[in-house]
Amino acid sequence: MVLPSQAGASAAGPLRVGVAGASGRMGRMLIEAVIASDDMVLSGALDVPDSAALGQDAAAFSGHTSGVAITSDLRAGLVNSQVLIDFTRPAGTLAHLMVCRELGVKVVIGTTGFTDAQKAEIADHARHIAILMAPNMSVGVNVVLKLLDTAARMLNEGYDIEIIEAHHRHKVDAPSGTALKMGEVVAAALGRDLKDCAVFGREGVTGERDPSTIGFATIRGGDVVGDHTVLFAGIGERIEITHKSSSRATYAQGSLRAARFLAHRANGLFDMNDVLGLS
């Protein structure tokens, strides 16, 4: 983690928040949440150059007017913002970060699917601007991660560990960033490296299960917002720790909480543990 500066006072008035992927499902949920908040104002709305929503009011989908037009011009869309909330794709997020660093805009990253090299690039940007990156912004999910750390330390012998996740048919990466984070937390608690013990698929004659592995199963279908279960399977008992999302609103509210946290930081790389005081 990049060591943060605690300097950086918030400007007077509401926090000015921009939203990337403004016409997507998560983008719209974020826009609604920002507009409904008492301490924030929508200051920018970004989308890809071929979006049919370009030029429209960012809140038009809800029958309201925000006074902010959706644009693909990054500098024009970010110039009035203090914080950008980004739930897009890795390449898009990295392009946004370049401009945010140039303009001094802080960034909340909910995008998943980054490579190790891309994560290193984000860490480098965090030396200059404040960035919060988490695979899941839900407060509940981050509490579950803490519970998993405790459970894994206590169930460190005699239990096989499997992680099952389900998402809607439109999700493009698998396993989900949240499932991978759960695996990382469990592996670390057991003194393992997830890269060495993860099993992402089984087919054919696989032989007996290696007790040192952590298995992943992925389900994609319908409109499932996000379900995650970590199964500790022992002899004669099973322990399941599950989180189920019924609405993206929980991600939006967690993201706003993260944006408020960044308002008082000048630079550094943070996660939701920092926001919730769980570190």
Residues designated as active site: 167, 171
Label residue 267 exposed, middle or buried (CB < 10 Å: 0-12, 13-18, 19+).
buried
List the one residue out of 33, 150, 106, 122 whose CA is nearest residue 266.
Answer: 106
Cβ–Cβ under 8 Å, residues 34 and 17: yes
Q: How many CA atoms lie within 13 A of 49 on its CB side?
A: 3
Where do we find the tokens 């960033």? 177
CA–CA separation, 125 vs 131, rounded Å? 8
List the one residue out of 85, 197, 177, 190 whose CA is nearest residue 135.
Answer: 177
Using DSSP's 3-state secondary structure scheme, residue 171 falls into coil
